[in-house]
Amino acid sequence: MAVSRPPKSGRQNSSNLSMQLSDLTVPIQPRAVVVNNSDQAGNTAAFDLREAEKEHLVVGCCLHRIITPPLRKYVESTMQKSYRNAKSKSHIHIQTFPNHMKSHKGHRLNYHNINNNNKHKAAENKYDYGVSNHVDFAKLFLKPFMAHMTGFDDSCDMSALLGLICQVGDFNPDVKDAALKVRSEVRNKWAHCDISNWTRADFLRCFQLMHELVKSLKLPSTAEEKFKQDLMDWEQKGVQLILGQVIDKDLLRVVQQDVADMQSNLVKYKKSSDSEVEKLVEQLKSVKKVLAQTEEKFEEGQATLRRNVNTTGENVTEIEGRVTTLEENHGQLAEHVHSLEDREANVEKEVSAVAEKVEEIDRSLSDFQQSQTDVNATVAAEQEVQDERLQTLEEGQVKLESWQQEISESLEKMQITDDSKARKSAEGFFKIPDRNKWFSGRQKELKDLHTKFNILESSTISHKKLAICGLGGCGKTCLAVEYSWQLQETYQGGIYWMSAENNRTFEISLNDIALGIGTGGSNFDDTLARTTAWLSSLQEPWLLIVDNMDEFDVSSEVQKLLEGHWKQTSKGHILITTRREAVEMVETMGFERDNCVELTSMSEDESCAFLVNRTQQEEQPGMRDLAKELGGLPLALEQAAAHINVLECAFEDYLKQYKRQRLKLLKRRKVKAMTSTTDKDRMAVNTTWLLNFQHIQQCEDPQLAEAACAMMNITAYLDPDDIPIELVNKGHPCVSQSPLAEYAESPLGSKQIFEVLTQFSLLQRYGKNSWSVHRLVQEVIINRCSSDNERVEYLQSACRMLHFAFSNTSSPQDVLQQSKEQSSSGRLLLWSKLARHACAVWRNMTAQLSQKDVFSRLMLAKEAAAVTHEASVFLSLNKQHSEAYLAQTQTLECVANTEVNDSFMAYITSVQVPLKEEYQKMLHAEMSVKVHSKADVKELKDCEKKEDPESLRQQGNDLFKKKQYSEAIACYTRAINISGDDVDERLYSNRSLCYFKVDEYILSLNDADKCIELNNMSGKAYCRRAFALAKLAEKDPTYRHYSGAAKAAAALAIHHEPTWRTNSQMKEYFPNLNVKEISSATELSFFTLSKQDCTILLKEGDYSLDALFIVANVQIVGVKGHTTVNCKDGIYCSPMFQRPVYCHFEKLQFPQMSDELVIRNGSVITLYRCQASNGVRSCKDFPNCQGGPGCVNSTNISCAETNNTPRSYKETHGRAGHAGLQVLGGTLYVDHCSIIDCGGGGLLVEGEESHAVVTNCEVMKHIQSGLEVRNGGTANSTTSSWSVEYWEPTTYPLRRSSATQRWRTTGNTSVFTQIISHHYRSGDVGLLV
């Protein structure tokens, strides 16, 4: 509600009061009686009193009519009990002087008030001390002028009742406390009649205290509810009186009766009361006079109404006569119309004759034109024959050139490799690792895969999923790769490869596939839904390989991929490789037992066949013994064969060397006995790897040996797949391993390093210029590191090599700085590969940060900052926002504690996390090239010609009618993808409804918001948003605060399209929707004061108020355009009673001249798409104000002479401002808002019961803190942009970390952009951002 400020001194004069009353009762004029001349039952009027007099009158009526009756019963009951106790214990009814009771529980008894003892004046020995009843006993506690009562009836007024409760010690302490407040703040203020100091806040406070008093009496529930309801009714009636609204005649009579009763009671006590009673009597006389005048005017209004009714009757008779005359004139006019119609018919006949003649002329002209057309057609036919001949010659020339190109490409392939099973064209959907040319055995398992997938009948292929189960190193991935190469022609829909080693690699792999097929979404769930929908829509068979699904807990996203309903009608196969046993896959993953292919170690024959094939030798002595010794483990066999092949040694010699090396390893591991098969297999890999590694160390070129060994150790900390040749470099700065730096300085040296490692199968080829390392080998290397220093050394080298590689390839900064016309797909392909390894190195570094010395060596370096920065950008692109935040935080810590130049600072801040959606699209387009097989290129082009967004939309609509929602989503998604920047809003609206039907409420909400961005007057889009928010609030208690936003969206839907009001689903979700459309500040104040849950739609304009008090659930929404709420004394959200207030603000602006928005007493407030620039302004140069321009100091002491130090870290000068948004006990949700240039800071969260959640917001240009959390408050921020400048490091006792940097926002400076996702919890000092 709006609160007017009282004058600074003196009483308010009548002119001021008249002006205020005029403002509140528009169009009612002050000092005037308004009569409602309606013919409804119960006539109404408004009477002439000043606002303060009305409030004074209402409070007096409540005290007299509502509070006094129950209080009399309560006090009488208590006094009866007290009297009986005194009678039984002290014989008070027969006591005499001087043995009488002198005090009761510390209160001196006044016997002057009973038994006419006042006639003896001060002669107390002559008093009659016998107390005959409880009424006399009560008089002993009162002052003489209050002791006039004859019983607990009308003679006992409120003053006496409150005096007894406060003086007698037998009353409940809670009742006594409540009575003390009512006596001092309500009854005494009312009795003193000091109306000049009476304010609206006093009025509301009176009702609050009367409520508390009734509650403290602990009356029966029905009685208590009745009295509370009576109080609320009178409070509502009082508001009507204060605002100058018309009132009911019955209410007028009730007020007259109460005033008469109060006046009569006061007249009785006038003789024994003080001057205040006389003052109150005079006031009541004045009120009574006004009421009488109001009743007279009411009667005059009724008389006027009767006269108006008689006059209206006479007018009706006169109008009836005029109607009769008009009817006669109408008959004459009809006859004239018939005459005109006859003439019109004659004219039509003449026109028809003319038309026939025109047709004859047209036919003659048509015959001439036809003859001319025949001549032209003959000429055109001859020309077409000539054109066809020319086109045939041109096509022949094109085919000839195409054949020449294909022959050239074939010759190049034949020169590159003689493998008859060469890789399929890079243009195909065939992005899997290189084929292992030494693959042998496993024929039974391959046959099982063929049979279980039923690929022999490709025309009848339906969805199926299989799992290859086995220990690490047993060849699961090689088997999946071989199966893919063999069946590449069968799976015309494509073969897709993803890694599920953990949730992070799964998300990155899926995003890679989405980039290739154009199904990227706004978040990972959206991308997954779009990708699976795209796969399910393919008409050709496809294969999806999910490699290394070894995580103990499978994420919900992986479960959606494997078990979702999207694949029920698809023509695709899913093949999984996992270390899980088949039994576990059946029990936990829902696989059938027959769909699990168990892969064990190779048999002795298969192992020997592999060794013969791999070494290109005949079977030799010792070969079978070696196969047994290695347990038939393919990885160990591969490394042993590579060793034998390179060194050309005998199998027997290698077996002896292997046994000696294994014995050394076993002696080192005496503490832990190896009993499991896994330990034996791991020991075999460890031993074969170590033999190969030792031989590399002993090769002829010691420099090359040392470089290769160092690189092998570094690969243990990289991602195991797709290690590009560009990653092998000297580093920036140079790596500490000097031989590696020398060899890696040239491309030839880098290839030499990889060739040495590949010869001994320590690395495997992944692609043309990339390699991979087995995960078991990585584990062996990391476990063999002798100390933390050794690990840190290799991690440091990995950082330097990555830093060098990043600085020599295209980066996201380069892409974003160029215009769209300069973009060329694929520029960030290498960067994305390097960034994947940067993420792996960053995670390995994070695991080493527990030790301070390790932290200083690893993280406090430029190369570490560069790697973590690139990792944060890559993680943000892949929607992994929490990890992106952690990486960004470490980047900032590196920069804060490391000397860096301006160019490096510009590099770190060039791409800010989180990335804007338009930037994400640009970068995604450069990270991958959409690939298709040659056979599909023409088909896709034909589809692009045939498919257009409108036809896809119609197709989606047809599928929706058939309740095929997933298929409809796929159609709408394809339509959106091919629409470019010109997307039809209906596509988002329809897809939002489909997502709602399949219970994907977050996706439904996102699409509804996108539709609103395209058309902010779409009733359907607001309706979709309302339903999605309502479902979220219903399904999950943590989304309860969405209920206000849901009502706001529903109200906007009805505003833009009124037909939604009668929609059955709208009525179901919002049965009690109460919408008020207003256009004035007075109406806004009234509806926020009323205790009804309503949604207020503000029409475009400025709403200026003194203050706004939110005391009940309400939603305040700007309908469109510029809607400003300017409250110079602030907006206060605080419940009047115990229930919390839920309030929602949407599309509003809080300007700079407005005071702060304050949340108190457990209120829950949401702000959506608002702009806040409010709050008391600080000095422009705070905290260094010296009294120059922009100083707002109004005191006698200049800012230069002051030193305000609220915290002892720095001296400050100038007046501090107030935060625009303040949470001082409650919860604030801020979404898609701008908090810009507030008076002091942006958002303050103070106190243990205070919490704030900030999402998708822009916070900048604050002189003080953008976000301040202190004294136990908490705050969460997600994907919000904070413009900050580094100030100075300060150690705070925060729970987040032991040492935290302090940041302050500055003008237009935007050095860092935080915060992706973080939870802030303050200690004793606080947290400033």
Burial class (CB in 10 A: 0-12, 13-18, 19+), 758: middle
pLDDT class for 399, splitting at 50, 70, 90? Answer: low
The confidence score (pLDDT) of residue 52 equals: 76
The answer, yes or no, to whether residue 265 has pLDDT greater than 50, is yes
DSSP state of 430: B
The answer, yes or no, to whether residue 264 has pLDDT greater than 90, is no
Mean pLDDT to the nearest integer, 321-332? 77
- Strand 1258-1260 and strand 1281-1289: the pairing is parallel
Distance, CA of 117 to CA of 10 (rounded, Å): 46
Least confident of 606-620, 648-662, 1137-1151: 648-662
The answer, yes or no, to whether residue 860 has pLDDT greater than 80, is no
Q: Note the pLDDT tens digit of each residue in 1243-1285.
A: 999 998 899 999 888 888 888 888 888 888 998 876 555 543 3
The answer, yes or no, to whether residue 1046 has pLDDT greater than 70, is yes
- Output phi, psi for 674, to 5 deg: -95, 110
Which letter, b or e, does each residue of 816-836 get, where b requires 16 or more Cβ atoms within 10 Å of its Cβ? Answer: beeeeeeeeeebbbbbbbbbb
Least confident of 466-475, 746-755, 957-966, 1312-1321: 1312-1321
Least confident of 107-116, 227-236, 634-643: 634-643
Beta partners for residue 254, in sequence order: none
User: Would you state the structure tokens that stand for residue 612, as one six-digit string?
Assistant: 């013969």
Q: Which residue has the tokens 């008894």?
A: 109
The confidence score (pLDDT) of residue 622 equals: 76
Contact 1120, 1101 (CB under 8 A): no
The confidence score (pLDDT) of residue 402 equals: 59
Q: Note the pLDDT tens digit of each residue in 531-544.
A: 888 888 888 888 89
Distance, CA of 25 to CA of 29 (rounded, Å): 7
The confidence score (pLDDT) of residue 439 equals: 81
The answer, yes or no, to whether residue 1226 has pLDDT greater than 80, is yes
Closest CA relative to residue 1134, chosen from 1078, 1169, 1092, 1089: 1089
- Strand 1267-1270 and strand 1281-1289: the pairing is unpaired
Least confident of 278-292, 404-418, 773-787, 1113-1127: 404-418
pLDDT class for 1173, splitting at 50, 70, 90? Answer: very high
The confidence score (pLDDT) of residue 36 equals: 39
pLDDT class for 2, splitting at 50, 70, 90? Answer: very low
User: Would you state the structure tokens that stand for residue 1175, as one six-digit string?
Assistant: 């709050």
Q: What amino acid occupies position 1153?
A: M
Most confident listed range (174-178, 372-376, 556-560, 691-695): 174-178
pLDDT class for 947, splitting at 50, 70, 90? Answer: low
Bigger pLDDT: 100 vs 121: 100
Distance, CA of 925 to CA of 928 (rounded, Å): 6
Backbone angle region of 579, left / alpha / beta, with phi > 0 → left and psi within -120 to 50 → alpha = alpha
For residues 602, 606, 607, 612, the Cα torsion angle rounded to the nearest 10 degrees is: -160
Q: Note the pLDDT tens digit of each residue in 805-833.
A: 998 888 888 888 775 445 556 788 888 88
Which of helix, strand or coil describes residue 98?
Answer: coil
Contact 1150, 1219 (CB under 8 A): no
- Strand 770-772 and strand 764-767: the pairing is antiparallel
State what percent of residues in the chain have pLDDT above 70. 74
Model pTM? Answer: 0.41
The answer, yes or no, to whether residue 1185 has pLDDT greater than 60, is yes
Q: Note the pLDDT tens digit of each residue in 1064-1096.
A: 889 899 998 999 999 888 888 888 877 678 999
The confidence score (pLDDT) of residue 428 equals: 43
Bigger pLDDT: 499 vs 939: 499
**In terms of residues, how long is the chain?**
1329
Most confident listed range (324-338, 410-424, 717-731): 717-731
The confidence score (pLDDT) of residue 394 equals: 64
Distance, CA of 34 to CA of 241 (rounded, Å): 12
Element spanning 992, H or E: helix 985-997
The confidence score (pLDDT) of residue 300 equals: 73
Contact 993, 563 (CB under 8 A): no
| Inter-CA distances, 11 with 52, 60, 205, Å | 12, 22, 21
The answer, yes or no, to whether residue 621 has pLDDT greater than 90, is no
The confidence score (pLDDT) of residue 486 equals: 82
pLDDT class for 1209, splitting at 50, 70, 90? Answer: very low
Most confident listed range (434-438, 649-653, 1223-1227): 1223-1227
pLDDT class for 1302, splitting at 50, 70, 90? Answer: very low
Q: Which residue has the tokens 């430029």?
A: 862
Q: Note the pLDDT tens digit of each residue in 134-155.
A: 998 898 888 887 888 888 888 8
State what percent of residues in the chain have pLDDT above 90. 11
The confidence score (pLDDT) of residue 417 equals: 35
The confidence score (pLDDT) of residue 419 equals: 37
Backbone angle region of 995, left / alpha / beta, with phi > 0 → left and psi within -120 to 50 → alpha = alpha
Mean pLDDT (the chain, rounded): 75
Q: Note the pLDDT tens digit of each residue in 174-190.
A: 898 988 988 888 888 77
User: Would you state the structure tokens that stand for residue 602, as one six-digit string?
Assistant: 């190779």
pLDDT class for 1030, splitting at 50, 70, 90? Answer: very high
The confidence score (pLDDT) of residue 15 equals: 33
The answer, yes or no, to whether residue 1097 has pLDDT greater than 90, is yes
Instruction: Answer positive or negative: Cα dihedral of 811, 812, 817, 818.
Output: positive
Bigger pLDDT: 412 vs 1264: 1264
Strands (E), 843-925: none
The confidence score (pLDDT) of residue 1210 equals: 57
Distance, CA of 525 to CA of 510 (rounded, Å): 11
Mean pLDDT to the nearest integer, 510-537? 81
pLDDT class for 423, splitting at 50, 70, 90? Answer: very low
Closest CA relative to residue 75, chosen from 131, 133, 138: 138
Beta partners for residue 1274, in sequence order: 1251, 1321
pLDDT class for 856, splitting at 50, 70, 90? Answer: low
The confidence score (pLDDT) of residue 1168 equals: 93
The confidence score (pLDDT) of residue 378 equals: 67
